[in-house]
């Protein structure tokens, strides 16, 4: 079945550590997105990529980095510069732009030790 | 800047009762509007979307939403709620370029038997 796979489901970060969240899709979608979800705040866009080897900052990109070397993969690195990383992270993809339906992964819960 | 307001953080309804979840948006042009549903610890699933045309939109699971330009609203309705509808519901507006959605803070629906 086609879909988006995020791993791990739960992740713990120590102070000063970088961690990488995985996102893989087999939907052949061009566009991929990373959202951060905090209780009571909805989803906020971190980074998005409309095509391989290209990505743009979203609304809250500070302290995060991404890469898009392959169409099916869009990993997110939470760096030590992100001072409040505890959140639920959601990856999504879409076939195109202009209001196309987003397909979401099941998320990664990141917590700080 | 685009914004989405969901005035109700929590709503409790009895099983079999009707439901209306409110959504107001701020956007200069004709918006793309969406309703997504999220079960705990999971990703989001699209219920319905509005791009243009008929202002009453039918979605999955018996949900519908009505776009009212004069009120900048896109309220979600269901005539008879089932216990399985208990979840968190997010309204979102699509921005002019690309597919970057702005999400509301969400409404948690509880269903009592």
Chain A positions with Cβ closer than 8 Å to B: 4, 31, 33, 35, 40-45, 48, 50, 58, 90, 92, 94, 96-102, 104-107, 109
A98 vs B107, more confident: B107
Give per-residue pLDDT as tens, A42-71.
899 999 999 999 999 999 999 999 999 999
From B89's Cα to the closest Cα of chain A, the distance in A is 10
pLDDT at res. A28: 94
Q: Considering only CA atoms, which of A69, A88, A76 is closest in space to residue A10?
A: A88
Residue in the structure block whose two tokens are 């905090």: A38
CB contact under 8 A, A96 and B49: no
> If you measure CA to CA, which chain B residue comes closest to A39?
B105
Chain B positions with Cβ closer than 8 Å to A: 4, 9, 32, 36, 41-46, 49, 51, 90, 92, 94, 97-101, 103-106
Exposed (0-12), middle (13-18) or buried (19+): which is A14, by Cβ within 10 Å? exposed
pLDDT at A96 over 60: yes
Interface test with A, best of B99, B104, B106, B107 (most A CBs within 10 A): B99
CA distances from A31 to A11, B56, B89, B99 (A): 25, 29, 24, 9
Give per-residue pLDDT as tens, A69-89.
999 999 999 999 998 999 999
How far apart CA A89 and CA B109 sit, in angstroms, is 22
Mean pLDDT of A81-105: 87
A50 interaction partners in chain B (CB closer than 8 Å): 98
How confident is the prediction along chain B (113 residues), in pLDDT tens digits per residue? 788 999 999 999 999 999 999 999 998 777 889 999 999 888 999 999 998 888 999 999 999 999 999 999 999 999 999 999 999 999 999 875 556 789 999 999 999 98
pLDDT at res. A97: 65
How far apart CA B34 and CA B21 sit, in angstroms, is 13
3-class state of residue B84 by DSSP: helix
CB contact under 8 A, B103 and A43: yes
């Amino acid at each position: 079945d086609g879909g988006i796979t995020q791993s791990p489901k739960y992740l713990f970060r120590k102070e000063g550590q970088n961690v990488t969240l995985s996102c893989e899709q087999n939907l052949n979608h061009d566009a991929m997105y990373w959202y951060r979800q905090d209780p009571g705040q909805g989803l906020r866009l971190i980074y998005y990529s409309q095509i391989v080897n290209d990505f743009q900052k979203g609304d809250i990109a500070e302290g995060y980095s991404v890469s898009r070397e392959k169409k099916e993969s869009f990993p997110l690195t939470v760096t030590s510069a992100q001072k409040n990383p505890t959140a639920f992270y959601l990856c999504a993809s879409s076939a195109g732009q202009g209001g196309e339906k987003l397909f979401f992964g099941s998320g990664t819960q990141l917590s700080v030790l | 800047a685009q914004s989405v307001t969901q005035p109700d953080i929590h709503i409790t309804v009895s099983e079999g009762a009707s439901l209306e979840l409110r959504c107001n948006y701020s956007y200069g042009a004709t918006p793309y509007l969406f309703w997504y549903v999220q079960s705990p610890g999971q990703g989001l699933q699209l219920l319905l979307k509005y791009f243009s045309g008929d202002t009453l939109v039918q979605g999955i699971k018996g949900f519908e939403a009505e776009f009212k330009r004069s009120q900048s609203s896109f309220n979600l309705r269901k005539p008879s709620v089932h216990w399985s509808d208990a979840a968190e519901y997010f309204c979102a507006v699509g921005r002019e370029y690309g597919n970057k959605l702005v999400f509301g803070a969400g409404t948690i629906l509880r269903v009592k038997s």
